[in-house]
Amino acid sequence: MPKHLTFLPVLALSAAISTAAVADSGPNAETVVASVNGEAITLGHVIMAGATLPEQYQQVPADVLYNAILDQLIQQTALVQSRVGDEPPVVTLSLENERRSLLAADAIEAAMADVGGEDDIRAAYDAKYADGKGDAEFNASHILVETREDADAIKAELDGGADFSETAKAKSTGPSGPNGGELGWFSDGQMVPEFQAAVSTLDVGQVSEPVQTQFGWHVIILNDKRDKEAPELDAVADELLAELRQNALEDRIEDLTSKAKIERPVVDGLKPEMIKDLGLIGN
């Protein structure tokens, strides 16, 4: 074994973990592939360490990756054995959070396991596109300025009869200003949420109240609105499956939390800023 450390990146809790079937004979997850002072390292440990590595490491030849991971586990085991004293609180808390996260992920998979068969997807498609129409598309223009005061003044001018396009050319700070503020056609999800929400509430020809986004303050006019044709089932099957699974998960979580006895006591002196104070945990 080389003397230099071969630590690979820390395993990500959010990494997807797939479980392969264990063969009836030959090496399995409990097969010991190394030991350090009698402490076993199994093939299962190596498999799990490899399964959650970043994508670039998955491309490494298997023999190289196997030996690198095993070296890392041996080195880590020796380091752990060299420690003196109790387990540091930061380690205990991290392990508890990791265990909670992994078991919750397993529960999520269970909640979604029986959702999304062909009949489910077809029923969701029929319900969503029963009228033969797809998602709505919007054609809007806007005037972008830096402050609420400027937006209020522009809205007053427009309410007084000022032409939207000419006002946008004269006062909008956005790149669409020279074009009269025209944004063309767009669907849900193509604009920032605050802008999209405002557009969705407008009637054709209606001018919005000032709307704030990360870019500044907008005054918006809805020029036109139309519905796209319903897509073919195959084109949206994956999207419908994701929606079905998300809905099943949300229903499951709501059911569990509504039945659970949940307490959030008021703690004297507790401040949200303490979330960044690692000093409270100790060494």
pTM for the model stands at 0.58
**Above pLDDT 90, what percent of the chain?**
74
Q: In what order do the strands lie in the sheet with 211-213?
A: 182-187, 133-145, 216-229, 211-213
Per-residue pLDDT band for 16 (boundaries 50, 70, 90) equals very low
Tell me the HSE value of 200 on the side-chain side, using a 13 A CA sphere. Answer: 13
CA angle 141, 144, 147 (to 5 degrees): 145
Distance (Å, whole) CA 2 – CA 198: 62
CATH architecture of 135-227: Roll (3.10)
Per-residue pLDDT band for 24 (boundaries 50, 70, 90) equals low
**What H or E segment, with its residue span, contains residue 150?**
helix 148-159
What pLDDT is attached to residue 98?
94
In this predicted structure, the answer to whether residue 112 has a pLDDT above a threshold of 60 is yes
Q: What is the mean pLDDT of residues 111-130?
A: 89
Per-residue pLDDT band for 5 (boundaries 50, 70, 90) equals very low
Q: What is the mean pLDDT of residues 15-39?
A: 73
What pLDDT is attached to residue 283?
60
In this predicted structure, the answer to whether residue 18 has a pLDDT above a threshold of 70 is no
Strands 211-213 and 182-187: unpaired
What pLDDT is attached to residue 116?
86
**Domain layout of the chain by residue ranges:** 32-84, 135-227
Tell me the per-residue pLDDT of 201-248, one tens digit each, with 9 for 90 and over. Answer: 999 999 999 999 999 999 999 999 998 888 899 999 999 999 999 999
Distance (Å, whole) CA 12 – CA 17: 10
Asked whether 211 and 198 are in contact (CB, 8 A), the reply is yes
Tell me the per-residue pLDDT of 130-188, one tens digit each, with 9 for 90 and over. Answer: 888 888 999 999 999 999 999 999 999 999 999 999 999 999 999 999 999 999 999 98
Distance (Å, whole) CA 265 – CA 181: 51
CA distances from 136 to 127, 152, 196, 225, 227 (A): 16, 29, 12, 7, 4
What pLDDT is attached to residue 114?
84
Per-residue pLDDT band for 43 (boundaries 50, 70, 90) equals very high
